[in-house]
Amino acid sequence: MSKEVKRYSYGYVDDGNGNRYLGLIEKPDGNLVKHEDYESLLAERDALLGERDRPTRASADVLAERRRQVEREGWTPAHDDLYDAAELPRAAASYVLNGANEVPPCIWPFHSKWWKPRDGRANYVRAAALLLAEIERIDRAALQGAQP
């Protein structure tokens, strides 16, 4: 008895309002996989893949954090496109360099209510997700012919 294997890929989905989201897409229907389904999906994937082919936990956590930022915090690609003065990289640097402090560092580009440090690893994951958002913003600007 063989088990049906679902096909997934990372890609962008347009929400119909001009926003594009990076996420795990179920094939062939093209629907975005819900954030809360990631854990079971990752376990299923790990059972099917060999050690060498498996993405690292760190990379999966960064993508999941980026998705959380979009879905739960509302930091959509369209919103990120408003930040063209290195706000996203400065936020990432803040989590890397000063994440253990309750008070945001002077380079923190946003209101202090958005400063939410956690443990060291979680801060690094947040920083990496913010850098991913910045890279995606630069890529979108380049596609539109704008100056990144």
**Domain residue spans in the chain?**
7-143
CB 101 within 8 A of CB 45: no
pLDDT digits (tens, 9 = 90+) for 81-120: 999 999 999 999 999 998 778 889 999 999 999 999 999 9
Half-sphere exposure of 123 (CA within 13 A, CB side): 18
CB 114 within 8 A of CB 74: no
The CA-CA-CA angle for residues 125, 126, 128, to 5°, reads 65
Helix axes 120-143, 87-98, angle to 10 degrees: 170
CB 108 within 8 A of CB 139: no
SS3 category, 83: coil
- pLDDT at 55 (0 to 100): 75
Sorting pLDDT into bands at 50, 70 and 90, what band is 77?
Answer: very high
- pLDDT at 60 (0 to 100): 86
Q: Is the confidence at residue 14, as pLDDT, over 50?
A: yes
- pLDDT at 145 (0 to 100): 83
E strands along the chain, which residues?
7-14, 20-27
Residue 66's nearest CA partner among 99, 40, 97, 32 is 32
- Cα-trace Rg, the chain: 17
- pLDDT at 44 (0 to 100): 72
Sorting pLDDT into bands at 50, 70 and 90, what band is 2?
Answer: very low
- pLDDT at 105 (0 to 100): 92
- Within 3-109, where are the H helices? 38-48, 57-71, 77-80, 87-98
pLDDT digits (tens, 9 = 90+) for 118-138: 999 999 999 999 999 999 999
pLDDT digits (tens, 9 = 90+) for 31-69: 555 656 666 766 776 677 666 666 788 988 999 999 999
Q: Is the model more confident about 74 or about 100?
A: 74
CB 92 within 8 A of CB 103: no
